[in-house]
DNA sequence: CGTGAGGTTGACTTCGGTCAACGTTTGTGG
DNA sequence: CCACAAACGTTGACCGAAGTCAACCTCACG
């Protein structure tokens, strides 16, 4: 957390994910101030509330300050297809940039604090700060990379690996953000987990029980506790590579 | 071909996919000329040749003028995971923009004509033509949307629907580009199709045989011929017919 | 407390993978 | 231009991972 930001101030959004767009490009204090003046709306959504939904005019981006959000759309039979879960620090709605309407539904999984940034303001900012455009492109690229990783996970692995991999990637994302990653809150229904992983709740339930029995990790009452990191990595099919994660690190600057 | 382009000249790349980035924003003749001066490299790759591979420095974008390209990477067991097939008019390598190295392998499926555009030249162009940046972002967004559609197709549908949907989407992409879409060349191995669809060659073979027997379409010796559009759409889940899909009926109840 | 959404468990089913054997194309060198 | 090998594709018998169905549990919340 410390030393990452060229400018530190008591501004509105110093803790929200928009800094991930703006700070890496080295904003001046003046630019930060301008950004803060623009990001005035800081809505709060409670569990189950809709942030935006597919088909409505795509007006804004949201930076998630706290809480968790799922992004999904309905298939032709009315089933949810969940594409992503967003964690604090993530930007929501990037894929609707320059689009007439949103393509997905975004729903709060628990109480969420957000920052709202109008698309037209972002566009304005982009003209004043060319480096910002590159950052937006990078975030988009990262979103594509995450989706591809998820796709690979879903299509070329067994159910058990998918579940292990899901827990592992959540832990990693919390770690990247400086939170405790061996014991963290995960306010996702098992049913949503199943949907996200292309499985049924029954299968997820059976697999979670197995991991618990084997002492790898537990997930009870919204809390995940990892007990055996190597076994979890192995179950998730993480290559026994020595140290770092090339892509993520590059993306974060 | 006709009437599509605001500027028509005997320039190098009037037929390559870079126009999809540039023309929609309304380039002037001067700008087109500048673009053409930059895009001088027009390499040809033969079947099986590597355009770029994961890990090597990401230097350029490629616009596919003719032929077909697959984008993939290896999983930890050395299996290919195919993410996309590129058709004439597509831009390849967008996801490596501003990245140190490519994240995927791109291989020619048959003889391919490409235009090569250095990343640093694109960056330069972007500074001179701000609208270009927006176009790049749009192409990226489109790539994300395609990946998500593919993900949905893979994870929430039966093998038969996946195959039908694959053929249908290929037909649509040819149609968009103004080619014959009811009878087209598809130089993709059945094995690669299986990999792309998360299936085995045996399963693909059985399903193709079934579609052929039912007179929906044939795919023999690199050529696809669609005989019954409504049935194909239905099989692909484009135009859902309740009476033909037992599971859906139950679900819709 | 009672109620209902969410979670668990077991018996059974099935889609699609695996294995093995056999056709059919394709491409290369004589 | 043919011969032959290697790559690609097809077919059938069998199997197993995960879905389905149904019953039951348990926990949060009014």
- Whether the Cβ atoms of residue B169 and residue B197 lie closer than 8 Å to each other: no
Q: How far apart are the C-alpha atoms of B12 and B19, rounded to whole Å?
A: 11
Cβ B228 vs Cβ B217: under 8 Å: yes
Measure B107 CA to C29 C1' (Å).
Answer: 27
Query: Is A114 domain-assigned?
Result: yes
- The model's confidence at residue B56, banded by pLDDT at 50, 70 and 90, is very high
pLDDT tens digits, B159-189: 999 999 999 999 999 999 889 999 999 999 9
Considering only the beta carbons, identify the residue of A98, A144, A154 that sits closest to B143. A144
Task: Tell whether A56 and A126 lie within a shared domain.
Answer: yes
How far is residue B69's CA from residue B86's CA, in Å, rounded to a whole number? 5
Banded pLDDT at A187 (limits 50, 70, 90): very high
Containing structural domain, residue A82:
18-136
Contact A77 B251 (CB under 8 A): yes
Q: Could you tell me if A173 and A113 lie in one domain?
A: no
| Interface contact flag, A147 B148, Cβ < 8 Å | yes
Q: Is the CB of A187 under 7 A from strand D?
A: no
CB environment A1-26: b (16+ within 10 A), e (fewer):
eeeebebeeebbbebbbbbbbbbbbe
| pTM reported for the whole predicted model | 0.84
Query: Which sign, positive or negative, has the C-alpha torsion A75, A87, B94, B46?
Result: negative
Q: How far is A86 from chain B (nearest CA, A)?
A: 16
* Final residue of a structural domain among B92, B113, B143: B143
Centroid of chain to Cα B226: 19
> Do residues B22 and B136 both lie within one domain?
yes
Q: Decide: B91 and B62 in contact? Cβ < 8 Å.
A: yes
Those residues whose C-beta lies under 8 Å from the C-beta of residue B124, and which sit 6 or more positions away, are none
Nucleotides of C under 7 A from a protein CB: 6-11, 15-20, 25-27
Q: What is the CATH number of the domain that holds B199?
A: 1.10.10.10
From chain A, pick out residues whose CB is under 8 angstroms from the CB of B152. Answer: 75, 81
**How many whole angstroms separate alpha carbon B3 and alpha carbon A237?**
53
**In the prediction, which pLDDT does A113 show?**
92
Per-residue pLDDT of A31-89, as tens digits, reads 666 677 777 678 899 999 999 999 999 999 999 999 999 999 998 888 899 999 999 99
Q: For chain A, what's the residue count?
A: 253
Residue A15's pLDDT band (cuts 50, 70, 90) = low
B37 with B119, same domain: the answer is: yes
Domain membership flag for residue B123: yes
* One domain, residues A81 and A41: yes
Q: Quote the number of domains for chain B.
A: 2
Within 8 A by CB and 6+ apart from A252, the residues are A20, A24, A176
Task: With respect to residue B151, please indicate whether it lies within any of the assigned structural domains.
Answer: no
Q: Is the dihedral of CA A148, A154, A155, A161 positive or negative?
A: positive
Task: Say if residue B139 is in the same domain as residue B23.
Answer: yes
Residue B12, in any domain of the structure: no
Give B217's strand partners.
B226
Does A107 fall in a domain?
yes
Strongest mean pLDDT among A4-13, A15-24, B215-224, B242-251: B215-224
What is the band of A3 on the pLDDT scale with cuts at 50, 70, 90?
very low
Residue that finishes a domain, picked among B115, B143, B171: B143
Residue A1, in any domain of the structure: no
* pLDDT higher than 70, residue B1: no
pLDDT band at A2 (very low <50, low <70, confident <90, very high): very low
Q: Residues A125-181: pLDDT tens digits?
A: 888 777 788 888 889 999 999 999 999 999 999 999 999 999 999 999 999 989 999
Q: What is the CATH number of the domain that holds A22?
A: 2.60.120.10
Structure tokens at B168: 């249908």
Q: Residue A150 domain-assigned?
A: no
| Domain assignment present for B58 | yes
Q: Do B151 and A151 touch (CB under 8 A)?
A: yes
Contacts of B21 in chain A (CB under 8 A): none
Does position A24 have pLDDT exceeding 50, yes or no? no
């Amino acid at each position: 957390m410390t030393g990452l930001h060229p400018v530190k101030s008591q501004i509105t959004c110093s803790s929200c994910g928009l800094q991930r767009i703006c700070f890496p490009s080295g904003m001046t204090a003046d630019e930060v101030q301008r950004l803060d003046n623009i990001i005035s709306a800081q809505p709060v959504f409670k569990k189950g509330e809709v942030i935006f939904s597919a088909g409505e005019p795509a007006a804004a981006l949201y930076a998630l300050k706290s809480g968790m959000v799922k992004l999904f759309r309905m298939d032709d039979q009315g089933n949810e297809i969940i594409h992503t879960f967003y964690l604090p620090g993530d930007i929501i709605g990037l894929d609707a940039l320059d689009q007439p309407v949103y393509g997905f539904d975004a729903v709060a999984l628990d109480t969420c604090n957000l920052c709202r940034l109008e698309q037209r303001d972002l566009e304005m900012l982009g003209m004043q700060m060319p480096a910002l455009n590159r950052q937006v492109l990078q975030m988009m690229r990262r979103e594509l990379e995450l989706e591809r990783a998820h796709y690979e996970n879903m299509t070329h692995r067994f159910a058990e690996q998918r579940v292990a991999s899901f827990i592992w990637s959540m832990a990693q994302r919390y770690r990247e953000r400086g939170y405790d990653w061996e014991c963290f809150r995960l306010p996702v229904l098992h049913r949503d987990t199943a949907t996200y992983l292309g499985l049924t709740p029954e299968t997820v339930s059976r697999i979670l029980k197995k991991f618990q029995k084997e002492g790898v990790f537990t997930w009870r009452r919204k809390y995940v506790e990892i007990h055996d990191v190597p076994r979890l990595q192995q179950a998730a099919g993480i290559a026994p590579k020595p140290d770092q994660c090339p892509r993520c690190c590059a993306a974060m600057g």
